[in-house]
Amino acid sequence: MTKTSRRKFIQNASVVSAGYFVAAGFSSPTRSSTGSTVQPTNKPQELPTGPDWPVGRGNPTSTGVATGKITERPEVLWEFKTNSEKSGFEGTPVIADGRVFVGDFEGTMHAIELGTGKELWSVKTKDGFVTAAAVHKGKVVIGDFSGQVYCFDTSTGNQIWAREIEQQVASGGNFFEENVLLTSESGSMIALDLNTGEPKWSYATGDQLRSSPTIWKTFSLLGGCDGRLHKIDLKAGSAIGDGVPLDAPTLSTPSVVGNIAIVPTQPGVVFAIDVETDKVLWTFSDPAQSSDIRSSPATLGKVEAGVLKGTTVVTTRNRRVLGLDLENGKIVWEAVLKKRSDSSPIICDGRAWVGALDGMVYAIDMKTGGEKWSYQLAGQILASPAISDGKLIVATEKGSIFCFGQK
């Protein structure tokens, strides 16, 4: 897919969302934050049991949190380059079993050895990829710009199955039991059998989807351009209720800790929602510095004595990175970048890791918002970073993948 096609694809999101605002008579809510106690969940937060980063937001609950440690001042361990700058990356690299998996703009799927940067296999497909892959049980699944979904063997790259769905896939997949869950531009989430690619069920929101499904218990939490947070029963493929009104479209993948989902909307309002009761616990907005949010939050927290403690990190399109208190939605810290970040932040070892459009990669202190480390790369960073086994993986629009860590 050409850069022109990708820009048109991104611009279409703005046109659709702008149309929503006019139709709905939307105006930005004023800043308000109200803390609430919550009931502790019987099911713990689902995080990787090992060092892998198998889906775009790191784990089934889409928290964007990596386990383990990473050195204070990472150095470049290796760089992988595609054959052309046109074969750049917009989808987040995913990592499993010591391999990095990522699809490029020109439709090639790459498997790279995490420890060395050596390409293990590559497969050329018809159309380009703008989203993250997803890995489970030795299979890597990814959807392309034309709506074709591929499943490859993670060890060999052999194609296991391919399936055409309604429209282009703009977000990475997730998994529930033996199904892979994908969203498309048609506004539908579809469950495909992981082993065969056969459709199991489809759920339609009625408007475009540009976020990934988040797993909460036996449900998926899904935000879209219809301005609602949907809760879908993953066994039946049907919605529970009418969804929680968000008052505006969202392009963000919800993150969930315990029963609490963090959902930013495009005009810059962040919601904390108890998805057990559908109650909005607090909202954050800042009319004085209002700006779009098109990325997904990274959320590190836990429920203590019925109260959600921790921090959620969001990036805005006016160069701000915000750390918000999970208990009440108030700003804990703020960092201002040289250029804005359109990719989603991730959290590991006391730092938020952020890539920006000027090629800068930052590590931001989760307590103070201060810069702990930065590194300049060539080319825009559109894909979110990924961390596994003490290694930071960053992909650029110019077709390079960098691995940072301790030498």
Contact 401, 114 (CB under 8 A): no
Tens of pLDDT, residue by residue over 143-183, are: 998 999 999 999 999 999 999 987 788 789 999 999 999 99
Q: Is the four-CA dihedral 244, 192, 119, 387 of positive or negative sign?
A: positive
pTM: 0.89
Q: Where are the domains of the chain?
A: 3-405
Tens of pLDDT, residue by residue over 364-391, are: 999 999 999 999 999 999 999 999 999 9
200 half-sphere exposure, CB direction, 13 A CA radius:
20
* 29 pLDDT higher than 80: no
Closest by CA position to 298, among listed 101, 61, 11, 108? 61
Tens of pLDDT, residue by residue over 229-276, are: 999 999 999 999 999 999 999 999 999 999 999 999 999 999 999 999
Closest by CA position to 230, among listed 257, 198, 204? 204
Closest by CA position to 161, among listed 169, 172, 171, 152? 152
Tens of pLDDT, residue by residue over 299-314, are: 999 988 888 999 999 9
Separation of CA 111 from chain center: 20
Q: How far apart are CA 161 and CA 150, in angstroms?
A: 6
Q: What is the pLDDT of residue 8?
A: 42
Q: Which CATH class is domain 3-405?
A: mainly beta
Q: What is the pLDDT of residue 204?
A: 92
